[in-house]
A = this chain, B = another copy of it.
Amino acid sequence: MHIRMDWKNVSFDWNRARAFLVTAEEGSLSAAARALGLAQPTLGRQVEALQEELGVTLFERAGRGMQLTPAGHAMIEHARAMGEAAGRLSNVAFGQNDTMEGPVTISASDAYAGLLLPPIIEKMTEAEPRITVNVVVSNTASDLLRREADIAIRNFRPEEPDLIARKIRDAEARMFASPDYAASLGPIQSKDDFAKARFVGLDRTGQFLGMLQQMGYPISEANVPVHTENFLVMWALVKRGMGIGMIDSVIGDADPGVVRLWEDEPTLGFPIWLVAHRDLHQNRRLRFVWDFLADALR
């Protein structure tokens, strides 16, 4: 049956425990306030009230920020446990949430976010107007674990056990250039014809160049006069005739401002994965976006 429990020891204000936790982790009341979306005096008063309520001094002012006292150190691990349980609660709640109204955050590389997703998102919001879409530009998988994003589009299979992934297709990167620049190069018959071509590089570390060299292109640093780490910048440069760029053929083919350079070129293959957190994947809204993206990206 139901054992009569005693709730005296949990009847203190739990939000004050949250204030304590975040202040300790962030190191200052101001940072905690920013992290929680509250005002700094609010956090200060909550921590103050908790100290008053428990009769314990938790922090000492330390010039820059707040320093935990020994008593605070003895208590922070339990506040952390509360926070972790709260996070799990929130995750499960999100998974159980079966309303179509609300936000979904999609994480993708800048190329996908800027070139491929916009029309997809437009169709999706037409189909489900109550869904609000946020797009985050990122290339790491960790933002899913931290719940900075709900669904990620990645080019690798994530290893983390808490994540689930679905392979959409194998994409291939091909060479594109503006029609003008392609014409100035003349007809391409073999790799040797690239000896005098200009490329728009994708990083400063030379990986892009090395990759092409490995594929047998007779090019050196002189062939890559401009670099960027941003696909969208690269693409804009390519479209302005600054050189050749390599990008997912789906993106290049869909862009009327560029042409394929060479039909028979060796392509650079890479997979496209959809990734989500295991706990959140049941969410109805998320499932809808997941299925929509899987269908549209195929």
Contacts and interface: CB of A to CB of B under 8 A. Distances in A.
A96 B81 contact: no
The winner among A26, A91, A96 for most chain B CB atoms within 10 A is A96
A74 B55 contact: no
A97 to B, nearest CB: 4
Contacts of A222: none
A195 to B, nearest CB: 47
Interface residues of A, number: 54
Contacts of A74: 92, 95-96
A93 B54 contact: yes
21 contacts: A5-B25, A8-B147, A8-B148, A9-B90, A10-B18, A10-B87, A14-B18, A54-B90, A54-B96, A54-B97, A55-B97, A55-B98, A55-B101, A74-B92, A78-B88, A78-B92, A79-B85, A81-B81, A81-B84, A81-B85, A82-B85
A295 interface: no
A99 B81 CA distance: 26
Interface string A1-32: 01001111111111101100110011100000
A71 to B, nearest CB: 4
